[in-house]
Amino acid sequence: MERLRGLNVLILAIIVILGGAEGQLVENFYGFTCPNVEFIVQQAVSIKFSQTFVTIPATLRLFFHDCFVEGCDASVMIASPNGDAEKDSKDNLSLAGDGFDTVVKAKQAVEALCPGVVSCADILAIAARDVVVLAGGPSYNVELGRRDGLISQASRVAGKLPEPDFNLIQLNTMFASHNLSQFDMIALSGAHTLGFSHCDRFANRLYSFTPSNSVDPSLDPEYAKELKDMCPQNVDPSIAINMDPATPRTFDNEYYKNLVKGKGLFTSDQVLFTDESSQGTVSDFANNAFDFNGAFVTAMRKLGRVGVKTGDQGEIRLDCTRFNS
């Protein structure tokens, strides 16, 4: 039995070494060094969720924003006393604090049992899966083995994240740069079935869309009226609106049903249905939750591989909010 255990350790070590050399991740990366890591994170996420629902959309959005800038390396977690870290960029100021707090709390719980072993990047990836499940979405195995990045600069964020007024070509170009297809992009956009947005992110669709159309004609008229009621001109910038007006606290395929009805909040949402080249996928996801869930899981696993640091790259941060040195 002891010889067999030794062989297993050797095999895992070879997998980890090869994986690090090729920038690959494995599902059971912490099988011997911190075997209960996923349970520990899940418990911490559940506790945080019991305190506020915002935990769910905030953590999921944090994962997207992290991976699209510098790769999935927890660089978005760094706090700078000079206000010049990644999280301080204009595009990241709207990230809810509960997402950061979720990862910090989970890291503290993991450190208590497995000190200096598990990266913040892996904890964020696990937590992103866990919040999807808590909202009623699909579970999936998370690939692990990421190291934490050593660069976090606000100046490197601009142009790295999708804008609410993007068209399909712009969306596809940005996602393709991370080896994500149009199909993956449409599936990941389904995360907008959760969460909220501030009025200024879509106000142009209500009041100043074009010189001839103040309201975006692709918006359902009744929905546009509801949005105007909730977001009058010069509204308090802290006011936020649910991305999904139907089931904002449930991870489901309602987002795509909304697009079919002209109820996409952003131009970059609605274009997925108005553009003929993506309309078919939206219609399929709207009609078949099983297809959407499967596509979302595949896309999340692909997203989790973007720009990862492995092997001897980066570090294992002891505190997710600051570099070790």
Catalytic residue annotation: 65
Is 104 flagged in the annotation as binding? no
**Are 185 and 177 in contact, with CB atoms under 8 Å apart?**
no
Is 294 flagged in the annotation as binding? no
Is 162 flagged in the annotation as binding? yes
Is 217 flagged in the annotation as binding? no
Residues 6+ apart with CB under 8 A from 83: 154
Is 102 flagged in the annotation as binding? no
d(CA 172, CA 161): 12
Is 252 flagged in the annotation as binding? yes
**Are 142 and 77 in contact, with CB atoms under 8 Å apart?**
no
Is 192 flagged in the annotation as binding? yes
Is 71 flagged in the annotation as binding? yes
- Residue entry with tokens 């720009």: 307
For residue 290, what are its two tokens? 């099983």
Q: How far apart are the first and last CA of the chain?
A: 41
Is 75 flagged in the annotation as binding? yes
**Could you say which DSSP state residue 163 is in?**
-
Is 38 flagged in the annotation as binding? no
Nearest to 27 by CA among 140, 141, 126: 141
Residues 6+ apart with CB under 8 A from 53: 249
Is 66 flagged in the annotation as binding? yes
Is 291 flagged in the annotation as binding? no
Contacts by 22-28, CB closer than 8 A, 24 or more apart: 23/308, 23/310, 24/145, 24/310, 25/143, 25/144, 25/145, 25/146, 25/304, 25/305, 25/308, 25/310, 26/143, 26/144, 26/145, 27/141, 27/142, 27/143, 27/144, 28/144
d(CA 224, CA 219): 6
Q: Please list, residue by residue across 177-186, b when 16 or more beta carbons sit within 10 angstroms of its beta carbon and e when fewer do.
A: ebebebebbb
Angle at Cα 300 formed by Cα 297 and Cα 303, nearest 5°?
155
Residue ranges at the known binding site for heme b: 192
Residue ranges at the known binding site for substrate: 162
Residue ranges at the known binding site for Ca(2+): 66, 69, 71, 73, 75, 86, 193, 244, 247, 252
Residue ranges at the known binding site: 66, 69, 71, 73, 75, 86, 162, 192-193, 244, 247, 252
